[in-house]
Structures are given as structure tokens and as C-alpha cells.
Amino acid sequence: MKQIILTGIRANNDLTIGNYLGALLPIVDMAKKRAAEYQVNLFVPDLHSFTTPIDHSTLNAQIMQNLRIFTAAGLPLDHPDVHIYRQSYIPAHSELAWIFDCFTGMGEMGRMTQYKDKSAKLSEDRISVGLFNYPVLMAADILLYGATYVPVGEDQTQHLEFTRDIALRMNSQFGELFTAPLPVPKQHEFFGKDQGLRIKDLQDPRKKMSKSDESGKGVIFMSDTPEAASKKIMSAATDSYGEIRFDTKERPGISNLLQILALLGGRNQSVVNAEWEGKSSYGDLKKAVAAIASSFLSDFQARLSQVDGEQIIAKLEASERLMNETANATLLRAQQAVGLRPKA
Ligand code: TYM
């Protein structure tokens, strides 16, 4: 049995280059280079799309658009060990999530940073129970398939740790039911990083670049025209040191630009830093980032316009059939363990 690399990217808005660099690029790279050794699952967590209110009339189209984006990013759909699927088409996800809910503490969920941040922006009765226990569904997404590696951005680290916790908790009570994903530092090692990635908002580099940001001024969307993206980069907030240095704490704006430059160019961060450190022209650095982002977006959008929708549908149906088999087998083991089904 091959080990599994798995991740999910929600369809609650247009994707950003943060989503691309934090999750899509690492999994697509793995699918292109290592699908002979690993199974690669990239899915749309559609049930996770409305933990906060959305426009439901566009959800279905956005789900399909996400799948086109995965394809345009280079996911090799013709590989038999690469799979794409929609979470809600595999009912075992929500069923296992319910079982996990009953083994999860309120305190545990309440401590999740993402929950605290998102709920702080909503009035009490608009904070949904779904937003509160969304990491539980995420744990089910991962544990149903026994995924070992889960490429995610830094904001999902706590959820990944929770996934390990619930797997180990269930295993200690019921015997070896689940394969837990590797601990976060091991994940970083595997994906060749020393920490989780957090691309920052260009206007406020203390916060994450986020697809749900209201103004969108500091966010580069995958659908932005190259001109619009360049404009946003040229007006990125920096600092008043007047000297380029990679220092994410003291100089988050400049460091963010250096990071985008390295990642979009497929180059090592330290090599890019060495090229720029000590220089004083923030304008030149912005121009270099704007140029690479523009050419990335125009290439990507050209590929997106060529994506074959029928190939996606055929692949989805085949993957969903297969994933239902795997997921149902894991769910049955969990149901037997907790006494919902007779033991075989
Ligand atoms: P979502 O849809 O909000 O984001 C998708 C992925 O993009 C990463 N990301 C970033 N990475 C770096 N810099 C940023 N500014 C940035 N913004 C977003 C996220 O960390 C994520 O990896 N709960 C997940 C979806 C999910 C999932 C799963 C992921 C559901 N089930 C199972 C992995 C495994 C989420 O909301 O991601």
C-alpha cells in the first residue's frame, strides 16, 4: 500500500496566491514528481465552504472552478494514483466527523486560533456550530484515508495537530483504528521547508493573505489580471528601515515580497535573500515581484482557459467511486469499534 499525500482547498471564494503557494503548489509538485511512490489526493472540502455565511447560489460553480484550478496548476489527472473528489460526495466524511465530535472536548475546539479569530468578527448568534467544530470534519477528511503527509499553510497547523490527537485518542481507547499523519515538523521536512508557510496581506503584512478579506486590496487572487496584481504589489506596505533584509518579525512586508519572489520563481529563499539583502530600493524589489507575479498569472490563466471540463468530470466520478470504497471501509471499522455495527 502506498503512503498517501492529501490536502483540501475550500471553494468559498476565488483562490489566492497564498492558497496556491501554501497548499496547491506543494501537492501538485508531489503529484508530478512522486506519484509513482505515493498516492496523491486533492479534494474540495465543499462542506467546509459555509462555516461562515456565503452566497450559496455560486457554490456549485466555485467547486467546479476549484477543480479547474487544480488542473491548470498542473495536477496530472491521467495518473492512476492521483485523485480529485468532492467531500460531500463521500458521506463517510460527515459520519465519521459525528463520531469524532463525541470524543472531542468543547475546550479543545474553543482554543483553536482560527476559530477565535473568525468568531471574533461575528456576533454570537452568527457563529455557527460548524465553524466551531470544523477541525473535527477536517480530521475525518484526513483519517478516513490514513494520509501520512498533509501539505497545508501555517494557519492549519493546529488542526493537523488535533487530527493526530483524535487519532491517537481513538486508537488508545479502541485499538489500532487510524493511521495518524506524521507530526508537523516531520511534514515540513518532507516538503522541504523549515516551517509552515504564511503569505501575508500586502496592505497589512502582520496578517495572513486571506481569500475572505473584504477589501481584497492586499490579496492577489489567481483570477487577478497581471496588471491588477502588479498594482497591488507596487503599493504593498513595507517599512521605514530603507534597507532590504529578510526578517519576518521586524520587516514582515519586505520579507513577504522576498518570499513571493523566491516561491514563484521556484528558487531557494536564501539565494534570493542574498541577491537583495543590503540594497535600498524597495521599488526595484517590488518591480521584480510584480514581474514574476504577472508572468506567473498570465501563464496560469492561459492554462486555465484550456482546461478540459469533461476530463475533470470523468476523473471526479472515477475517484469518488474509489474514495467511497476506501472511506466506507475505514468508517465501518470505526462504527464497529464504537458499537454501532457488529464486529466481523
Ligand atoms: P483553506 O481552503 O482556507 O485554504 C487552503 C490551503 O491554503 C493555505 N493557505 C495559505 N498558505 C500560505 N499563506 C496563506 N496566506 C494562506 N492562506 C491559505 C491553507 O493553510 C490551506 O492549506 N481547513 C482547510 C481545508 C481542509 C483541509 C482538510 C486541508 C479541509 N479538510 C483536510 C487539509 C486536509 C482550509 O480551510 O483551508
Report all structural domains of the chain as residue ranges with CATH numbers, in order of start. 4-192+308-338 (3.40.50.620), 226-304 (1.10.240.10)
**Catalytic residue flag (residue 208):** yes
* pLDDT band per the 50, 70, 90 thresholds, residue 124: confident
CB atoms within 10 A of CB 109: 18
- Amino acid at position 11, single letter: A
Residues with C-beta less than 6 Å from any ligand 1 atom: 7-10, 18-19, 21-23, 45, 48, 138, 141-142, 150, 152-153, 155-156, 197-199, 208-210
Give 283-292 pLDDT, tens digit per residue. Answer: 999 999 999 9
How far is the C-alpha of 254 from the C-alpha of 250, rounded, in Å?
A: 10
Grid coordinates representing 118 are 473568525
| CA 45 to centroid of ligand 1, rounded, Å | 10
Residue 279 annotated as catalytic: no
Residue 338 pLDDT class (50, 70, 90 cuts)? very high
| 8 CA from centroid of ligand 1 (Å) | 7
Report the pLDDT value the prediction gives residue 123, as an integer from 0 to 100. 87
**How many CB atoms are closer than 10 A to CB 252?**
20
Distance CA 75, CA 85 (A): 13
pTM of this structure = 0.97
Averaged pLDDT for residues 40-63: 96
Question: To test the ligand 1 pocket, which listed residue (9, 14, 211) has its Cβ within 8 A of the most ligand atoms?
Answer: 9
Q: Which of 134, 190, 165, 104 is nearest to 8 (CA)?
A: 134
| Rounded Cα–Cα distance for residues 19 and 24 (Å) | 6
**Cα-to-centroid distance, 234 and ligand 1 (Å):** 26
Distances (CA, A) of 270 to 103, 183, 259, 286: 44, 26, 10, 18
* Angle at which helices 157-174 and 134-143 cross, to 10°: 70
Instruction: Tell me what percent of the chain is helix, strand and coil, each rounded to the nearest 5.
Output: 55, 5, 35
Find the catalytic residue in 200, 211, 232, 286.
211
Place of cell 477528511: 141
Confidence label for 145 from pLDDT (cuts 50, 70 and 90): very high
pLDDT at 293 over 80: yes
Catalytic residue among 200, 208, 232, 315: 208
| Residue 156, φ and ψ in degrees, nearest 5 | -100, 5
Q: Is the pLDDT of residue 280 over 90?
A: yes
pLDDT tens, residue by residue, 190-218:
999 888 899 999 999 999 999 888 888 99
Cα of 341 from ligand 1 centre, angstroms:
34
* Residue-level pLDDT at 283: 97
At residue 114, what is the residue type? Q
Which of 155, 208, 212, 256 has the most ligand 1 atoms within 8 A of CB, as the residue to mutate? 155
**pLDDT at 13 > cutoff 80:** no
266: left (phi over 0), alpha (psi -120 to 50) or beta: left
Catalytic residue among 33, 116, 118, 193: 118
pLDDT at 14: 87
Which atom in ligand 1 lies closest to the alpha carbon of residue 16?
17
pLDDT exceeds 90 at position 332: yes
Q: Which of 122-131, 197-206, 249-258 has the lowest mean pLDDT?
A: 122-131
> Is 211 an active-site residue?
yes
Q: At residue 282, does pLDDT exceed 80?
A: yes
Longest dimension (CA), the chain: 70
What pLDDT shows up at residue 214? Answer: 80
Please tell me the distance between residue 213's alpha carbon and the centre of ligand 1 in angstroms.
15
Q: Which one of 48, 59, 93, 156 would you pick to mutate in the ligand 1 pocket, going by the greatest count of ligand atoms within 8 A of its CB?
A: 156
Residue of minimum CA distance from atom 34 in ligand 1: 7
HSE-CB for 29 with a 13 A CA cutoff: 13
Average pLDDT score, the chain: 96
Average pLDDT over residues 167-182: 98
Whether 318 shows a pLDDT value over 90: the answer reads yes
Average pLDDT over residues 234-256: 96
Is residue 227 predicted with pLDDT exceeding 80? yes
Model confidence over 84-98: pLDDT tens digits? 999 999 999 999 999
Q: Is the pLDDT of residue 165 over 90?
A: yes
Q: How many residues does the chain have?
A: 344
CA 70, chain centre distance (Å): 12
Distance (Å) from CA 154 to ligand 1 centroid: 9
